[in-house]
A and B are shown apart, each in its own frame.
Chain A
Amino acid sequence: MNGLRLVGYILLCLVVPIAWGVITNLVFNRLSARAPAAKKENNDASRVESLRQIWYI
């Protein structure tokens, strides 16, 4: 096992998993921050749709 490969393996075991964890955490937190807004929009859309149906029926 040469030196460069060893450094690569150490990085893969120490740095990459932490970076992966941080990125995953950021993505999930961003998505959860957006989710309520999206849900609200959906709810508004469905409410408008149901109101429309009531109006026309």
Chain B
Amino acid sequence: MVHIAVGGQSFFIGWIILSGLAAGLGSGLFGIGGAVILTPLLHSLLGLPLPVVIGTGLCQMIAASASGVMRFRKSGVVDYQVALMAAGGNLAGVTVGVAISEALENMPQVTFHGRSAPLDRVAITGLFIAALVLIGTLILLEKPRGDNPPPPGRFLAALRRIPPRARLVRTGGEASIPLLVFPTVLVGLVSGMLGIGGSVFVVPLLIYGVGLPTHVAIATSLLYALFTGVFGTIEKAITGDVMLSLAILIMIGSTVGSQIGAILAMRTRARRLRKAFGVLLFVSAVMMAWKLCSRFV
């Protein structure tokens, strides 16, 4: 059996390729980066070091999302305009998030069971989990009209009218630019501060905020994940947390997985995809809570 050495330990490459396949499947199916699937598989199950898993996970995200986007492109459901606008907001947010994280280095610590963590990180992670649970609950409780989500309430409809507005060339209709970019700035801020992705928030934003059809939202979010993957990989490569040989193995699986995921997504009804996405948000919340708890236990 062929093994790869990571952090002084050797790992069977078949498990790593399979982990990549699972992450890619989630990536293509839900339009996410796939870290939420890859991190528990590689770190908790196989025991790879967390910094390497996060850095390399970002690197494989480029291949997985590019592969999925290419598949979605054939179906004509990728909205490049929306993805570019959202990625710009994310980049601004990440830049400021990293700077805030450095400025808050001397924050008081929260101590529990004799172990401590910075108060700001604990508070932001708590808010992140709460947001995941809230959005997940709203998606699971929605009463759709056929395959479409319910029409926006008065508040959301008012938000959608905030100027300046963009005319969406590919999908048709109009979208409020502030409603599209400010949430991605916020997601970028949190990503920069906590060092995590945030593409799980983008699909709900595109469906309920911008009003894109579910399949278009998933395909567009995947393109957004591609952009954030590129930014993140550059940053992690500078700090030396990207292991290229490991990334290539994961990419072999995730590229194939993402294609399968995208094909499955196009064959699944929008209503079912949204429900499955709601469950995924709960899984992400559990993951974040577990990460937070593991700092103290």
A-side residues, CB < 8 A to B, are 1, 5, 9, 12-13, 16-18, 20-22, 24-25, 28-29, 31-32
Contacts and interface: CB of A to CB of B under 8 A. Distances in A.
Given A9-B99, A13-B93, A18 B177 contact: yes
A15 B282 CA distance: 33
B89 interface: yes
A29 B167 contact: yes
B167 A9 contact: no
A35 B276 CA distance: 38
B89 A17 contact: yes
Task: Identify whether the interface residues of A are mostly helix, strand, loop, or mixed.
Answer: helix
A21 B169 contact: no
B126 interface: no
Interface in B166-193: 166-167, 169, 177-178, 180-182, 184-185, 189
Interface residues of B, number: 25
Contact of A24 (B85, B100, B182): B85
B164 A18 contact: yes
B228 to A, nearest CB: 14
Interface of B: 80-81, 84-85, 88-89, 92-93, 95-96, 99-100, 103, 164, 166-167, 169, 177-178, 180-182, 184-185, 189
Given A9-B96, A25-B85, A18 B169 contact: no
B99 A17 contact: no
Contacts of B80: 28
A32 B180 CA distance: 21
B220 to A, nearest CB: 13
A25 B85 CA distance: 8
A21 B178 CA distance: 8
Contacts of B185: 13, 17
Given A28-B81, A28-B169, A21 B180 contact: yes
Contacts of A22: 164, 166, 177
Given A18-B164, A18-B178, A13 B189 contact: yes
